[in-house]
Amino acid sequence: MPFSDYKTALVTGASSGIGAAIVERFRRENIEVHAIARSGDALKALAERTKCIAHVIDVTDRAALAQLASTIPFDILVNNAGVDRPKKFLDADEEDIDLLVDVNLRAVLHICRLIVPGMVARDRGHVINISSIAGNYNFGGNSTYHAVKAGVAMLSNQLRLDAFGKRVRVTEICPGRVATEIFNHVHGNDSSVRERFIDGFELPQAADIAEAIAFAIAAPVAVNIGHMEITPTLQVMGGLQTARPQASETEEPKR
């Protein structure tokens, strides 16, 4: 279903990075975009620049989301809001687990609950879930994030089953490393973070992810692009490591 058949969109985590790029891309198609984020100043600047409709809402605020969903029939839903607290699960904090589950998974479930039934009733709609390669591959030190993103991946598959027989499409976008501010949000806002994760690398930009989403939405109604992994050309997933067993503290050292 081309863009011309869609009129309204809801984008979460819209104040910066990939979310802001998606808002900008949709506005170029004259979509009425409702942009959600917690950062009021950044959202106001985005609204002034793009003429989107700003809503300063935390995605965990179910009452505010329900009010918005009850007043506007959204044709496109982009679940983009997310947080991270990189830790091995052995070192995980209770608060970090709750935060990642609440924002990255529970909020996505509730937003879909509020919006997707209307799409099914109207026989028209497209859900875009911004997940991560972390939902499909393992890399060290981020166990809770892996778990919640895997949940988003399964939800994306299940939504298509639940909406079977209706023209409601679901696309899961799984970015690898992208040149956005997310690394500063997660690791601290200093120059060493940018040097570690961005400077010197050839990385996709937020606008590249937005263009991939536009490609999926602009496909004919008979085409559902269900899953995209978007990574730098010079990034790969996987690898094999084998560790030698460590000697126990009571074991006598070999001489």
6 belongs to the catalytic site: no
β-strand partners of 9: 33, 76
How large is the average pLDDT for residues 146-173?
97
Q: Span 3-230: which CATH code?
A: 3.40.50.720
Higher per-residue pLDDT: 26 or 188: 26
Q: Which of 33-42, 73-82, 153-162, 243-252 has the lowest mean pLDDT?
A: 243-252
Amino acid 178: pLDDT? 92
Assess contact for 198 and 189: CB atoms under 8 A.
no
How large is the average pLDDT for residues 3-14?
94
Q: What is the pLDDT of residues 88-108, one digit of tens each?
A: 888 889 999 999 999 999 999
Amino acid 103: pLDDT? 97
How large is the average pLDDT for residues 203-228?
96
Assess contact for 37 and 43: CB atoms under 8 A.
yes
Assess contact for 34 and 114: CB atoms under 8 A.
no
Burial class (CB in 10 A: 0-12, 13-18, 19+), 145: buried
Q: Is the pLDDT of residue 182 over 70?
A: no
β-strand partners of 125: 168
Residues 127, 217: Cα–Cα separation, whole Å: 9
Q: Is the pLDDT of residue 192 over 80?
A: no
Q: Is the pLDDT of residue 254 over 60?
A: no
How large is the average pLDDT for residues 150-167?
97
Amino acid 180: pLDDT? 79
Amino acid 225: pLDDT? 97
Which of 6, 74, 145, 183 does the annotation list as catalytic? 145
- What are the structure tokens assigned to 129, written together? 């879930």
